């Protein structure tokens, strides 16, 4: 159990650093409530699962080729800048929004999934962390325990996802228009900033 808890803590540690997913969750939860922030994080978690499976089956190394890195930096830049601009342009929109709840939740999931899937830093993180965990664990344990430890990482990610959604939804419940606007402004600028950084990295991979 101690080992399992250490992997759960690893999952929390992987999710906790401030990044585009956390910024988007904070904005989505403040504007639309707990479910939207949680589902956005859930979409990002599914992208993490994709990378974990690619690493597990040994087919993730092609993602480190210059062409794929340039493509992912470029695609990630587009997703982040688009999401950031969309966040800023919706500042005047009512907190409750005008679209249906179902379409919003669906949009939140897709946004989280694409943001995490197109983040090269996410790929390097999983290659470095999970790749080393896999290499180390496979020498000392069987497949069942390896699956259990991998599940522990995702439990940790899910715990942090819920924590972020709860934090963001508190701002939503307060329904303070000034606070919500500032959260949207900060989140939108952060996402655009990450997007511009990704664009710089894409240019660096393509031309230098």
Alpha helices in 17-65 (DSSP H): 20-32, 34-56
Question: What does the pLDDT read at residue 89?
Answer: 83
Alpha carbon distance 73, 200 (integer Å) = 8
10-residue mean pLDDT profile of the chain (208 residues): values are: 78 75 86 89 90 77 74 87 85 50 75 88 74 66 74 88 87 72 84 90 82
Check residue 140 and give its pLDDT.
66
Chain centroid to Cα 112, Å, comes to 6
pTM for this structure? Answer: 0.77
* Exposure b/e, 101-125, CB count within 10 A at least 16 = b: eeebbebbbebbbbbbbbbbbbbeb
Helix axes of 101-117 and 66-89: crossing angle, nearest 10 degrees: 150
- Residue 54: what pLDDT? 82
């Amino acid at each position: 159990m101690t080992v399992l808890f250490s992997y759960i803590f690893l999952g929390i540690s992987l999710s906790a650093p401030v990044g585009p997913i956390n910024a988007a969750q904070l904005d989505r939860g403040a504007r639309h409530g707990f479910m939207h922030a949680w589902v956005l994080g859930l979409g990002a978690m599914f992208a993490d699962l994709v990378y974990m499976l690619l690493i597990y089956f040994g087919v993730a190394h092609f993602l480190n080729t210059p062409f794929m890195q340039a493509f992912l930096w470029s695609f990630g830049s587009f997703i982040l800048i688009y999401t950031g601009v969309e966040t800023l342009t919706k500042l005047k929109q009512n907190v409750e929004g005008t679209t249906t709840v179902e379409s919003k939740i669906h949009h939140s999931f897709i946004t989280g999934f694409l943001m995490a899937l197109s983040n090269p830093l996410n790929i390097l993180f999983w290659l470095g962390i999970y790749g080393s965990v896999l290499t180390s664990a496979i020498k000392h344990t069987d497949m069942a325990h390896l699956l259990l430890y991998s599940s522990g990482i995702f439990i940790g990610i899910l715990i942090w996802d819920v924590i972020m959604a709860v934090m963001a939804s508190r701002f939503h419940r307060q329904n303070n228009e000034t606070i919500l606007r500032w959260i949207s402004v900060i989140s939108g600028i952060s996402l655009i900033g990450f997007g511009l950084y990704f664009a710089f990295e894409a240019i660096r991979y393509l031309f230098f």
